[in-house]
């Protein structure tokens, strides 16, 4: 249902998280206050379960907990995008996604994104995709001529989403190994100047979205500092609550964003 939304606004949105707790934090923001029923569930052909909020005035939004790390994120996202492009909906025609959002908690770089702050990615960067060089340097995959190491959200969308969320708007790094030392944190901060956060799925989600020609966003709330590993200090419940709040604030922006 499009309601009063502008022509060209996405009629279907896919949100991809790593774990079910993050998925449920997003769903909490999407469910109208007067709807207490559970989301509809749909199994994807390659595994994974889409949670769809009951129809409201906005676009149909499906939320998928695809697993931890860029590979699981890419596989889950690609599966959902392919299923939507091929499978007929209730009216017999396929209803492809118009926007993909990677969402979850993440590590914040000290001095840029403190715990519980929201971060909206200006660039989604594969921080460890490339080659280590003798002497300690790093050649990103693009410099090696082997593809791209970053994706950019649509220029007209991510600044507005960041403003709505009161978020830091800066690059978000995707890593396969969460940072656990001060040395690695300093290395990443120096290599990717201005980076606000690191997490483990954004680039995988973005690669799959790019393969389908669908725009992508990444939205994180900070559960911990990027630095020496101290799992006991992670503020996961508060970061999940902050994720629900941030999602509620960005929803009117991304749902009404028009590509026309």
Ligand X SMILES: O=C(O)c1cccc(C(=O)CC[C@H]2O[C@@H](n3cnc4c(=O)[nH]cnc43)[C@H](O)[C@@H]2O)c1
Residue numbers at the binding site for ligand X (CB under 6 A): 18-19, 21-22, 68, 104-107, 175, 178-179, 198-201, 223-224, 226, 236
Shortest distance, position 237 Cβ to ligand X, whole Å: 8
Q: How far is the CB of 217 from ligand X (least distance, A)?
A: 15
Q: What DSSP designation does 231 have? A: G
Rounded Cα gap, residues 255 and 45, in angstroms: 27
Q: DSSP state, 148?
A: -
Q: Quote the least distance from Cβ 149 to ligand X, whole Å.
A: 17
CB of 172 to ligand X, least distance (A): 10
Q: Quote the least distance from Cβ 42 to ligand X, whole Å.
A: 23
- Nearest CB to ligand X, comparing residues 99 and 105: 105
The residue number with the shortest CB distance to ligand X is 107
Q: Which residue has the tokens 């001095």?
A: 111
- 105 or 157: whose CB is closer to ligand X? 105
- CB-based contact 101:209 (threshold 8 Å): no
What region, left, alpha or beta, does residue 140 occupy, with left being phi > 0 and alpha being psi -120 to 50 degrees? beta
Is the CB of residue 52 less than 8 Å from the CB of residue 26? no
Shortest distance in whole angstroms from residue 105 CB to ligand X: 5
- Indicate the residue among 58 and 104 with the shorter CB distance to ligand X: 104
Other beta carbons within 10 angstroms of residue 166's beta carbon come to 12
Smallest gap from Cβ 127 to ligand X, in A, equals 10
Residue 56 or 180: which CB sits closer to ligand X?
Answer: 180
The residue among 218 and 255 lying less far from ligand X, judged by its C-beta, is 218
Q: Could you give the count of Cα atoms lying within 13 Å of 234 in the half-sphere of its Cβ?
A: 17
9 or 124: CB nearest ligand X: 124
Q: Considering just the CA atoms, what is the radius of gyration of the chain in Å?
A: 18
For residue 61, the surrounding DSSP H or E stretch is strand 60-65
**Closer residue to ligand X, CB minimum distance, 128 or 255:** 128
**Collapsed DSSP state (helix, strand, coil) of residue 104:** strand
Q: Are 200 and 220 in contact (CB under 8 A)?
A: no
Residue 210: other Cβ atoms inside 10 A = 16
């Amino acid at each position: 249902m499009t309601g009063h939304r502008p022509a060209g606004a996405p009629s279907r949105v896919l949100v991809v998280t790593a774990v079910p707790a993050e998925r449920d934090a997003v769903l909490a923001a999407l469910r109208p206050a007067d709807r207490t029923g559970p989301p509809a569930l749909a199994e994807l052909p390659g595994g994974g379960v889409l949670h769809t909020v009951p129809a409201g005035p906005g676009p149909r939004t499906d939320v998928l907990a695809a697993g931890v790390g860029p590979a699981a994120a890419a596989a889950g996202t690609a599966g959902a995008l392919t299923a939507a492009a091929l499978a007929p909906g209730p009216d017999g025609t396929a209803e492809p996604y118009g926007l993909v959002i990677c969402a979850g908690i993440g590590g914040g770089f000290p001095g840029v994104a403190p715990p519980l702050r929201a971060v909206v990615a200006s660039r989604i960067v594969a921080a460890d995709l490339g080659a280590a060089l003798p002497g300690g340097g790093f050649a990103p995959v693009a410099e090696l001529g082997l593809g791209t190491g970053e994706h950019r959200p649509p220029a007209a969308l991510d600044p507005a989403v960041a403003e709505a969320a009161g978020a830091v708007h800066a690059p978000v790094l995707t890593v396969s190994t969460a940072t656990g030392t001060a040395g690695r944190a300093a290395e990443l901060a120096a290599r990717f100047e201005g980076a606000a956060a690191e997490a483990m799925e954004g680039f995988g989600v973005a690669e799959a979205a790019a393969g389908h020609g669908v725009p992508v966003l990444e939205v994180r709330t900070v559960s911990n500092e990027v630095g020496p590993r101290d799992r006991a200090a992670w503020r996961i419940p508060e970061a999940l609550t902050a994720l629900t709040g941030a999602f509620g604030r960005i929803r009117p922006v991304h749902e009404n964003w028009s590509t026309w």
